[in-house]
Chains A and B, each alone.
Chain A
Amino acid sequence: MPKLRLPKATLALPAWVWLLAFFAAPVGLIIWYSFGYKPSIFGTHANDILSLDRYAEALSPTFFSTFSNTLWVGVVGTLACLIIGMPVAYWMAVKVPTAKRGLLIAAIMIPFWTNFLVRTIGWQIILAPQGWLSQGLQAVGLIDGPLEILYTRTAVLIGVIYNYLPLMILPLFVAFDRVGEPLREASKDLGAGRLQTFLRVTIPLARPGIIAGLLLVYIPLMGDYITATVLGGAKGNMAGQLVAAQFQSAQNWALGSAMAVVLILTILLSAAVLGLIIWLATLPFRSHYRLRLGAEA
């Protein structure tokens, strides 16, 4: 009896369809629109004349400062998430008894049950010049006047760290947990102290999780415009807001597409450059412990 054998990749068919229809095609359209122009006050885009003019517009001084601002918030925010999230994840994976970990993971996830926008607006109340944080800091004498950080880049930074920190902690936790107690014990047994064990066993083995955490935070953070809209005001603009404004208010899809492409390229390039910098910076450390004996017996 002949058997119908479908290729194994058939299992991934829904994923391929999804990826093509909702990712590849829209990105292709955006790239296509970015070479066009806004034909009239009522049209959103036209592609009968192709040019790079929209890119020149997107990178003009007006918008360029917003892109560099976005890059600053993205890099500083992601690194802050890493620095804050790493000790928490390590503590959860290594020090906390297994039975109590579920509770901690729940505590990290529960804020996600609240709407993203509502959580962000909550920070308006906290950071307001008349808010309790401002009053508290004044009461203990740490600042003289009211706290003036709402609607600044600092407020945006605080907001994105708060919003994206769980996305850093969870992959780091899984990565640290998978290293396992036996390998840390073996390291200590061989004479390595806590720091050496962390640098030479825990970090290298947790590297996939660390990279996942960095990308999981950095990429959505760079495209985020809700946090910047709610907390940034005029001084805390981010590129995501520009793109949204061109599509929604200005109805200039050509310029909005060019900005979106610039943002995508900025994310890809900066991630690659940052990765290269980290790789080069740790090269001496790694090559110091490298040992190849060769095959001679």
Chain B
Amino acid sequence: MTDPATGASVTTGSSPDEPTGTVVLESVTKRFGTAVAVDNITLRVEPGEFLSLLGPSGCGKTTTLRMLAGFEQPDEGSIRISGKDVLGIPPYKRNVNTVFQAYALFPHLTIAENVAYGLQQTKVPKAEIRTRVADALDMVRMRTFADRKPQQLSGGQQQRIALARALVNRPSVLLLDEPLGALDRQLREEMQLELKLLQSRVGISFIFVTHDQHEALSMSDRIAIMREGRIEQLADADTIYGAPKNSYVAGFIGQQNFLDATAKDVTSADSAVGPVTTTNVNPAVHGGDRIVAAVRPEFVQLAASADGGKSPGRANVFDGTILSSSHLGETVQFLVDLGNEVSIQARLPTPTAPRLSEGDRATVTFSPDSVQFFPSESTAPQQEPTKE
């Protein structure tokens, strides 16, 4: 299942349709032995775009990036960078640079020499190398560290050097392979902001590989959600969050309550705890289908039900018992047992959250426009995917 987000022409060589910085993958497949790492991917990245490849480990995102860098060759399909077919072209002849996961700085060279390495491979005059290296180090605010060795720097500092070393060559496309994965959380959030600012300043296409949905959501113009070598959905963050294409994407981004149900028609269904309705029409759902109704914890309303009585029959309204409540800082998270082995998560802003604790009776409601119906299939696990 690929997103037909490409209107690419089939001509090779430079073309007005694909200006510098455009990356086009057409029906790209890569196998390792019998395992299919990348399965018929078609993708177009526009010049200056920040595109993230997001998925759990083993979904083919890193292999895709390595094919763009030239470290792997696709078994089928074609890859064009800036309108030029790069099939069979080695990494050192491609106008792309990579920021590696573990930075891969040269330990025997100083910071300045690391940054100069790419420029020294071309016929750039020495004086120009000096100024460009100094400028690149200024850009990442590491100028004062120029004559140190990489081992003397912290992880965050090394990450900036890796970025400067790649950007100093003025590539048409920058590839980033989980560059923030090794940093602690606070530093990672800082670097996300810096990286996004930097990208909009240099105007280079960024292709960013990550398994961290927050990272992808906060920085990307568009996100490609990958699973088992295929792109499940390619869209901007709002669309991915608000209108996921299937239950896998719905479950992968953010948190999601899934209620098993049987569709009556495209907007209403019966679950084990009562009727559910939606205003979001999914053309893949037909009356009588087994479906899942998805609603995010942040859209679930919760109120104490003093009388303890049932509210029978009303759609999207359920009575339940609080199983647990936990304080997450700006929000409070509740787990509510709705009976019939169905429970639902609700996350409410701390100032307005009802004071309910374990065993209290509560009424759960959500509005039909926050509910989405998907055909029943395997869904993504709710927990954070493990790190590669």
Contacts and interface: CB of A to CB of B under 8 A. Distances in A.
Contact of B92 (A189, A200, A289): A189
Taking residues whose C-beta sits less than 8 angstroms from the other chain, chain A's interface range is 20 to 34
A192 interface: yes
3 closest cross-chain pairs (CB), A and B: A190-B118, A191-B121, A186-B104
28 contacts: A182-B100, A183-B104, A185-B69, A185-B98, A185-B104, A187-B117, A188-B70, A188-B71, A189-B69, A190-B92, A190-B97, A190-B169, A191-B93, A192-B92, A193-B92, A196-B121, A204-B108, A291-B112, A291-B113, A291-B129, A291-B130, A291-B133, A293-B112, A293-B130, A293-B133, A293-B147, A294-B147, A295-B147
Interface of B: 69-71, 90-93, 96-98, 100, 102, 104-108, 110, 112-113, 116-118, 120-122, 129-130, 133-134, 137, 143-144, 146-147, 165-166, 169
A191 B129 contact: no
B92 A186 contact: no
Interface in A273-297: 289-295, 297
Contact of B120 (A182, A204, A289, A297): A289
B94 to A, nearest CB: 8
A174 interface: no
A295 B134 CA distance: 11
Contact of B108 (A188, A205, A293, A294): A205
A193 B147 CA distance: 26
A297 B146 CA distance: 10
A99 to B, nearest CB: 14
B155 to A, nearest CB: 16
A261 interface: no
A276 B129 CA distance: 31
Contacts of B104: 182-183, 185-186
Contact of A192 (B96, B121, B130, B147): B121
A191 B100 contact: no
B121 A292 contact: no
A291 B116 contact: yes
Contacts of B130: 291, 293
Central interface residue in A186, A193, A290, by most chain B CB within 10 Å: A186
